[in-house]
Structure 1
Amino acid sequence: MKIPLSWVKEFTRIRIDITPQNLCELLSAKLSEVETLKTSKSNDKIIEIENKALTHRGDCFSIEGIAREISAITNSSFKLPDYKTGNIPIVKDIQIHIENPKDCPRYIAVKIRNLKVESSPKEIQTRLLDCGIRPINNIVDFTNYAMLETGQPLHAFDTSKLGEKEKYRFGVRRGKKWEVLTTLDGVRRPLSENNVVITNNNKPIAIAGIMGGKDTEVDEKTTEIILEAANFNNFVTRESSRKLNLRTEASGRFEKNISPDIAERGLGKFLSLLNKYESGKVAGLSEKYVQTPLPRTIELTLDFINKTLGTNLNEKEATNILALLGFTIKKEGPTLTVSIPFFRRDVSIKEDLLEEIARIYGYEKIAPKLPSKEISPTMLDFKLEFIRQIKALATVLGYSEVYNYSFVGEELYQKVNLRIENLIELINPISPQLKFMRNNLLPNMYEKVELNKKNFSQFKLFEVGKELHKKARGLPEEIYTLCAAYYDANQPDYETLYRKAKGDMEILLSNFINLEGDINPIFSAQHLIIYKINLENLYEKHIKYKKEIKDVSSYPPIIEDFSFYVKKESRVGDIIKKIRNINTLIRDIELKDIYKEKDNKSITLTVVYQSPQRPLSDKDVAPIRKQIIKLLEEGLGLTVRK
C-alpha cells in the first residue's frame, strides 16, 4: 500500500524533527513494516507499507487511517474534515431491496445529474498515480480518490444504461448459476450462489464489493449516474473474489471488515470533490441501513494495564494514547470506560486495548520480567492416572498397545457376529466403511489380530478406548474399556492358551482389586483368546479396594508340590481359594502344571509355607499338609497322586 506523505499531512501535523526516514522506522516498530521510501515524479515522498500485517485493520487501508496512526505514534494533532450528507433529499424513484442483511448491512444510492465527464484535475491524477492507480475520467477518479482517502469503495452506474427510465429497482442478492456478467475488464464471468450481485430490475449489473459490469460503465457520454456507497460481508467478498480469481482495490478493503459507517464518509468525500470541481449536481439519495451497530464499550483499570503489561504508566499517559487512536474515555472511580470508535471493528476485549497501549508506548520501553504469580500443582485426575497404570502394567506383561478409529462399519461387526442395530450412525462419515460409532472394542481388536498374524506367530495386543452406548435421551454413554488379545499359532491346545491369557488378566486385575470368581474371555478362535474389561466398573471397585501390604519374611520358606486328578470341568481357582483358607502359614499357591488324560486331568499346585516370626520345620508343616490332603480327598472328592 503506497502512502503519499503530503496527503497524510493534510490530516496530521508531523513534528519538524521527525524526518521521513525516522517516520518509516517508527511505523515499522509500531504498526507495520515499511518496505520502501521513494520519491515520486511529483517530488512527493511515498511510503510503501507491507499490509499483510494489517489484515485485521480495515481502517488502515486508507490515508485517514494511516494519518491517525502516525498522529498517535508521533504524538501529533489529528483532524478530519466533516463531510455532511444529511441535507441531501430522499428520492422515491430509487428502490433498494436487500435479500440477506448479512450479505449487505448498508446500501446508499445517490442520483447525480448534469455530469461533466472529462479528464480529472492534475492534482487528482497525480495523487492516484503516486498510489499506483491509473486515472480514467473525473467521475471514476473521484470514486478512487475517495476510496484511497476514506477506505470506502464506491461505484458509479450510468443511468442511461440501466433500462427503465426514472425508476430504478436496485437489489442485493446471491447470483444464480445460469447468470453471466461481463465485468469492467471485459471478461465474461459465470455467476453462482457464492457471489453477491447488484441488480437493477433483477438483472445483475455488478459483482458486489468487487467490480462493476461493463454494460453500465461510465463513459464520456454519461450525463447522469447513480453512485453506490455500500458495505458488504467480508467473508462473502473474500470467497467470491477467490472463486472468480478477481482481486480489486475494492474487494481488498471489504475483505478487511470495514465498518458500514464509513460508507457515508466515502460518499461525503466524493460529493465534496464533485462540488469543488463543479462536475455535477446531486438530485437525491435512497438508503437501506438494515441494522445500525450498537455502541461498544470496554471497562478496564490502570492497575490492570500496568500489571498485565509490566509498565508503570500513569492515567494520563494511558488515556492519551487511547484518545490519539480515536477512543473516548470516561472515568468512574478507578474504572476507565472506553468507547470503541466505529472504524475499530478489530477491538472487542480489554486485551485488545492493552495491545494498542503497548505498541504506541513502545515495546522497547517495557522491561522483560516474569509475572509474579502463585503456582500450584495441577490437580491429579485419578481416573486417568488409573488408566495410565493399567496401560503400563499391560505393557510390562508383554502386550503391545494399539490405537483404533472410534468409527466402524457393518462388515467389521459381522466378522465377530455382532449386530449394528444399537450403533450411533454418523451424519457425515469420513468413509462409507466407517459410518458408525463403535459400542464394542472387539471388532477393531479382531481386525488388528488378523492383520498381525500374517507376520507374527505369537503376539499380545491391548487397547484402552471408549465405547459409545446409545441412550434413550441425551448424549451417548462413554465407557472406558480394556480389550486384550492373546495369539499363539504355536500353541494348538486351547486349554493352555486360555490358562496363559487368563493368568495375564488375573495378574493385571489383582493389582487393583480383590479378584472374585473366574475371568472369562468374550471371544475365542483358533490360537486366539480376547478379553474385555469394563474399566469404569473396575475403577469404582479400585477406589474402595485397600490392598494389604505385608512385610517380606526374613525366614526361608518350605515349598512342596501337590498333584491330584480333577474332572475336566473343575475350576482350579476355587480349589486354590479353599486351600489358601486352611492356614495363615500358607503364603502362596501357584498352578505349576496341567496334564490331560482322557476325561480327567492332573493338576500340580506349588504350595509355599512361610512364617514372618520364625523359621519353619517339617514338624510345623506336617499337620497343614494333612489338612490339605484331607480337603482334596474328603472335602472335594479328588484323588491325590502319591
Structure 2
Amino acid sequence: MQFPESWLRAYCNPPLSTQAIADVLTMGGLEVEDLHPVAPPFSQVVVGEIKEAVQHPNADRLRVCQVDVGQGALLNIVCGAPNARPGIRVPVALVGAELPPGEDGKPFAIKLGKLRGVESQGMLCSARELKLNDDHGGLLELAADAPIGKNIRAVLNLDDHVFTLKLTPNLAHALSVYGVARELSALTGAPLQVPSFPPVQPANDAKLAVKVSAPDLCGRFSGRVVRNVNTKAKTPQWMVERLAGCGQRSVTALVDISNYVMFEFGRPTHIFDFDKIHGGLDVRWGRKGEQLKLLNGNTIEVDEKVGVIADAREVESLAGIMGGDATAVSDDTRNVYVEAAFWWPEAVQGRSRRYNFSTDAGHRFERGVDPSLTVEHIEYITRLVQDICGGEAGPMDDQVLKQPERKPVQMRVARAAKVIGMPITEAQCVDAFARLQLPAKVDNGVVTVTPPAYRFDLSIEEDLIEEVVRIVGFQNLPTTPPLAPITAKLPPESRRSRFAVRRLLAALGYQETINFSFVEEKWEKDLAGNQDPIQLLNPIASQMSVMRSSLVGSLLQVLKFNLDRKAERVRVFEIGRVFVRDASVQTTDSTVRGVHQPMRVAGLAYGDPSGLQWGSKAGQVDFYDMKGDVQALLSPLQAEFVAAAHPAMHPGRCAAIRVGGKDVGFVGELHPRWRQQWELPHTPLLFELDLDAVTARKVAVFESVPKFQPAERDIAVIVGEQVTHGALMDAIHGAATSGLLRDALLFDVYKPKEAQGGLQPGEKSLAVRLTLARSDATLTDEEIESAVRAVVDRIATQLGGRLRG
C-alpha cells in the first residue's frame, strides 16, 4: 500500500512530523516499509511559458526559445526537446540552479553559456532531468494555469513524501488512504475528516437490467448509467499527482477516476462501455469452455469455480478481479455503466493465481471490502465523472442479496490484562474501541463489540485484545522478566541425544543433509512400496505432492545431485520425520489423527569406502562396510541381521535389522532397477533405522572383576551348508549350561571340495571357541565337560549337527 503524505493529511492531520507519523503507524501495527520524498532536492526551478520558439541558426535539432519566467524580460534559452513550442508551460532551471545528481553522483549546476553560438540563459527541463520519472521524450508540460515564476516544487507539491506500508492480510480495512487516516486518527487522537456523498439527481431514466444468479458469489450489486460522457477529457493534475504518489500512472480520465476511488476508499469499481453490452448483465459462476479476453490482453478460459459478469452474448468481466476487453471504455465511448459490488472473499481468493497474475481489485476483494457503501461510492464516482467528463446520470440500481453477518465478539478485561502483560481497566478498553469507532458495551468485566461492516478481521477474543494493545501502545508495555522457575531437564541415562547420534555418524565419515518432508509420489510407490501416500492439499511444486514415509528417496536425490557435480565418493545421512497412515493415532497437541510421525535415521554410502588411500587399492563400498557402520551406530546394543526383502533393496543383498527381537530397520544394496533408473554408475548402500532404537542404550551396571580364571574350550561341529552363523549362535546360547557360558566365537569354517575327514557333500565344519566361567568358584572338569556336552547336544537337536572326529 503506497500513498502520498499530503493525501493522508487531507483526512487526518496530526501535529507530528513525517517521521513521527511513520513511527506511530508502525507501532500501531501498520508497518511503514519505506518512506521517501516525492522528488530529490533541486533548487531555482520555476514555471515558465514559452512565448516563441524558432529554429537554431547553426543546428537542425535545436530551437531558440523566448521564455517568460515572471521576471519582466524574456529569457533566451536553447532547447532540443521535440515538444518545445509556444504556449506551453514547462519547468525552467534558472542560471545558478542545481539539478538532481547525475550518474556521477554530483549535482548538476546551470550556468550561463552558449550553444552553437547562441547564448542560453537557463534550461528547459524534462521529468527525467528532475528525477520525477523516466520520461525523457520531451519537456515536462505543466497545467495551462500553472502560475508563471512560481517554484516548481510548490506547484507540483514535490516536497511531499510517499509512505509504503507492509500490511498483514488481516488489515484489509487499511488498504486505502481513508482507511489509514482512520487508523492514524485512532492512534493519535487527531480529528478525522469524514467524507460525505451527496446523491446525484438523475437526469434521465436509463437503466441496465442486471440479474444476480449467484448470491454465494455476489452479496450486493449496485450500478448506474451515465450518458454523454466525454472520454477524451484530460485528468486533472491534482488527481494525476495523487495517483502517481500511489504508484499508479495516469491512463484515461475514466480509468483514473476508478483507480482514484479505489486508492482513496478501498473500493474497486469497474466502468463498462454501456453501448457494448448486449442485453443485460448476469452475475454468475463461469461455465466450462467459456473464454474471456481481459484488459491486460490475456485470453483466459473460465470454469464453474470462477465468478464472471456476462451479458446475453459472452462473458464480459472476471468478477472482483479484472474487466474484459470487449466492454472496455475507449475514446469513442459516449455512455458508460458504473458498477460497484460486494464479492464474497471466499469467491475471489486464489482465482488470480490460477491465471498467474494479480490485481489491486482482487487483492482487496479477497480480504474483504465494506459492503455497506457501494451506493455512496457510486455517487462519488458519478460526481467525479460529471466534474471531469460531463454527462447525465441515470437512476441508481441497488440489489442487496446477502451481506456478511457481523456477530458480536466478547472480550474479558481480566483475560486482556493477562495476555497483554500489564494492568488494563474497563475504561481503557472502552476508550480504545471508541477511538477505533467500534461500538462497545461493558457488562461485569466483559466488553462486547459489534464489528462494523468494514472490519472482516474481528471474530474472536484475541482480535479485540490486539486492538486494545495497539491503541494503548506497544511501546508502553512493561519489560517484565519471565517468572517461571528454571529447572534443569536432565535427559534419561537410558537414552542418548540426537546430537550424539549425529556426532557418531559424522565420526564414521558421513555428512548430514536436510531435505523436504514432501517428495515425489513416484518415490513413495517405487522405493517405499507405499501405494497410498499422504497427499498434500496445496503442494508447493508438482514433484512435491506427498509426505514421505521413508528417507531413502531424499538420500538418493542428494546422491544424484552430487554425482552430477562430479563427486566420486558420497557418504551422507539424514535424521528426519516420516509420515505413515495409522488409524489408531488420534489428534493431540503434537499428533494428527490417522498419521503416525516417527523419527528415522538413514545413511547412504557410495564409492570407495576409504577414499583416496596409498596403502590400499581403490574399491567400492560393500554390504559389510555398511553393516559395520550400523553396528557401530547401535553399539553397545547387539543387532541381529536377518535376510529380508525391501522394495528399494537388491533381492538377496538386503537384511532386516533386529534389536531385542524387534525389527528396527534395514540395510542393503539399492535394487538394480532403481540404480538404472537413477543413472548411477555404481551401486550405493543404504540403511534406515527407527531413531528411538538408535538413541536407546543400556545403563551400565557395576560388576566386580572376576576372581577366578575362565576356561576355554574349542569344538568343531559338522552342520549342513545352509546353517547360518546366527542359527549356530542361537543354538549355542540356548544350551542348558547352568549359566556357565560367557561367550562363543566362531573362528574357523571348513568346506572340503569332496568328502573327507568325516564330512559329506553339502556339509561344513564350524570351529567355535567357548568361554566358560563361574563368579564364585573355579570350574571343575566335570562342570566344563557337562557344559560342552550341553552345547553339542543343543546343536545336534536344533541344527542336526554333530561333533567332528
SS in 1 for 2:370: coil
Q: Distance in 2 between matches of 1:6 and 1:442?
A: 59
Q: Given that residues 4 and 44 in structure 1 are in contact (C-alpha distance below 8 angstroms), is that contact kept between their aligned partners in structure 2?
A: no
Select which of 400, 412, 434 maps to 1:301. 412
Instruction: Determine which of 323, 346, 349 is the counterpart of 2:457.
Output: 346
Match of 2:739 among 584, 601, 611: 584
How far does residue 74 in structure 1 lie from its aligned partner after superposition? Answer: 1.3
TM-score (norm. length: structure 1): 0.68
Shift of residue 198, structure 1, vs aligned partner: 3.1
Preserved CA contact (<8 Å) 1:561 1:604: no
- Per the alignment, residue 126 of structure 1 pairs with 238
Q: Is 1:169–2:281 an aligned residue pair?
A: yes
C-alpha distance in 2 between matches for 1:150 and 1:391: 59
- Tell me, what secondary structure is at the counterpart of 1:191? strand
8 Å CA contact 1:412–1:444 kept in 2: the answer is: no
* Aligned equivalent of 2:194, options 80, 105, 128: 80
Number of the residue aligned with 2:772 = 609
- Report if the CA contact (8 A) 1:489-1:527 is conserved: no
Tell me the CA shift for residue 229 of structure 1.
0.8
Alignment of 1:314-329 (within 5 A): 314-329=425-440
Moved more, 74-83 or 555-564: 74-83
Change (3 A) 1:298 1:171: closer
Q: Deviations over 1:513-544 (max 9, x none)?
A: 9x9xx9742259999653225789568xx9xx
Matched with 1:559 is 711
| Deviates most, 299-308 or 328-337 | 299-308
Shift, 1:82, TM fit: 5.6
In the superposition, relative to structure 1, how do residues 129 and 242 fare at CA in structure 2: closer, same or farther (>3 Å)? farther
Could you report, residue by residue, the CA deviation over 1:578-633 in whole angstroms, capped at 9, with x for unpaired residues? 54x2333443333343333463443333333333335x2xxx32111232455467
Distance change (3 Å), C-alpha of 1:467 and 1:624: farther
- Cα distance, 1:64–1:423 mapped onto 2, change above 3 Å: closer
| Correspondence 1:79-478 to 2 at 5 A | 80-81=194-195, 83=197, 94-98=208-212, 100-101=214-215, 103-112=217-226, 117=230, 126-132=238-244, 134=250, 143-164=258-279, 168-174=280-286, 179=291, 181=293, 183=295, 188-193=297-302, 197-208=308-319, 209-211=321-323, 213=325, 215=327, 217=329, 222=334, 224-232=335-343, 236=348, 240=352, 243=355, 247=359, 250=361, 253-254=364-365, 257-270=368-381, 283-373=394-484, 423-424=531-532
Question: Which of 4, 23, 26 is the equivalent residue of 2:24?
Answer: 26
Measured at CA, do residues 55 and 356 of structure 1 come closer, stay the same or move farther in structure 2, by a change above 3 Å? same
Paired position in structure 1 for 2:728: 572
Q: Deviations over 1:470-490 (max 9, x none)?
A: 99xx97999999999999999
Q: Per the alignment, in what secondary structure is the counterpart of residue 395 of structure 2?
A: strand
Distance 1:559 1:241, change over 3 A: closer
Between structures 1 and 2, the one with greater helix share: 1
1:639 paired to 2:803: yes
Task: Point out which structure has higher relative CO (alpha carbons under 8 A, 6+ apart).
Answer: 1
2:183 aligned residue (69, 78, 87): 69
Determine the C-alpha separation between the residues in 1 that align with 2:554 and 2:17.
Answer: 71
8 Å contact from structure 2 (residues 223, 396) kept in 1: yes
In 2 relative to 1, CA 387–210 (structure 1 residues): closer, same or farther, beyond 3 Å? same
Instruction: Give the distance between the partners of 2:607 and 2:720, measured in 1 at CA.
Output: 23
SS in 1 for 2:767: strand
Contact 1:72 1:360 in 2 (8 A): yes
TM-score (norm 2): 0.57
CA distance in 2, matches of 1:64, 1:74: 15
Instruction: Tell me if 1:5 matches 2:6.
Output: yes
Q: Deviations over 1:249-297 (max 9, x none)?
A: 6456446542333423422433566799996665434344443101133
Cα separation, partners in 2 of 1:334 and 1:520, compared to 1, 3 Å: same
- Partners of 2:645 and 2:333 in 1: CA distance: 87
Structure 2 distance, partners of 1:117, 1:486, is 76
The residue type paired with residue 594 of structure 1 is V
- Distance change in 2, residues 1:206/1:549 (3 Å): closer
Q: CA RMSD in A?
A: 6.3
Structure 2 vs 1, CA of residues 373 and 270 (structure 1 numbering), >3 Å: closer, same or farther? farther
Work out whether residues 225 and 338 of structure 2, in 8 Å CA contact, stay in contact via their aligned partners in 1: yes
Instruction: State the alpha-carbon separation in 2 of the partners of residues 259 and 626 from structure 1.
Output: 97
Mapped to 1, the partners of 2:550 and 2:388 lie a distance apart of 80
Cα distance between partner residues in 1 of 2:317 and 2:541 = 41
Partner of 1:493: none
Do the aligned residues in 2 keep the contact of 1:118 with 1:220 (CA within 8 Å)?
yes
Counterpart of 1:532 (choices 656, 660, 666) is 656
Shift of 1:389: 12
Secondary structure of the structure 2 residue equivalent to 1:331: strand
SS of the residue 1:560 aligns to = strand
* Alignment equivalent of 1:594, drawn from 741, 749, 766: 749
- Tell me whether 1:624 sits opposite 2:787 in the alignment: no
How has the CA–CA distance of structure 1 residues 557 and 483 changed in structure 2, closer, same or farther, with 3 Å as cutoff?
Answer: farther
Give the direction of change, closer, same or farther, for the CA distance of 1:78–1:479 in structure 2 (3 Å limit).
closer
- 1:390/1:556 Cα in 2 relative to 1: closer, same or farther (>3 Å)? farther
Q: Does 1:521 align with 2:521?
A: no
Task: Work out whether residues 590 and 606 of structure 1, in 8 Å CA contact, stay in contact via their aligned partners in 2.
Answer: yes
Q: Cα deviation per residue 1:4-62 (whole Å; 9 max; x = unaligned)?
A: 636744x54x45x4355643443354333261356752669744220343665332232
SS class of match (2:369): coil
1:589/1:606 contact within 8 Å kept: yes
Q: Could you say what secondary structure the match of 1:261 adopts? A: helix
Asked whether the 8 Å contact 2:234–2:252 carries over to 1, the reply is no
> Structure 1 counterpart of 2:313, which letter?
N
Cα pair distance change 1:576/1:501, threshold 3 Å: farther
Cα 1:160–1:370 shift into 2, 3 Å? same
* Count of paired positions: 601
Cα distance 1:621–1:88, how it changes in 2: closer, same or farther (>3 A)?
A: farther
Query: Which residue of structure 2 lines up, in the alignment, with residue 35 of structure 1?
Result: 35
Paired amino acid for 2:751: K
Does the CA-based 8 Å contact 2:7-2:177 persist in structure 1?
Answer: no
Q: Distance in 2 between matches of 1:225 and 1:563?
A: 106
Pair 553,640 (structure 1): closer, same or farther in 2 beyond 3 Å = farther
Distance 1:221 1:639, change over 3 A: closer
AA partner of residue 369 (structure 2): I
Using the TM superposition, give the Cα deviation of residue 238 of structure 1 relative to its aligned residue in structure 2, in angstroms.
7.3
Do the aligned partners of 2:172 and 2:364 also contact (CA within 8 Å) in 1?
yes
Task: Tell me, yes or no, if the aligned pair for 2:370 and 2:453 is still in contact at 8 Å.
Answer: yes
Please, which runs of 5 or more residues in structure 2 have no aligned partner? 39-152, 584-592, 610-621, 665-692, 754-758
Q: Which runs of 5+ in 1 are unaligned?
A: 491-496
1:436–1:190 distance in 2 versus 1, CA, 3 Å: closer
**Secondary structure of residue in 1 paired with 2:167:** helix
State which drifts further: 520-529 or 258-267. 520-529
SS of the residue 2:751 aligns to: strand
Q: Partner of 1:48: helix, strand, or coil? A: strand
Q: Is the 8 A contact 2:286 2:307 kept in 1?
A: yes
Change (3 A) 1:595 1:442: farther
Name the CA shift for 1:424/1:265 in 2 (closer, same or farther; >3 Å). Answer: same
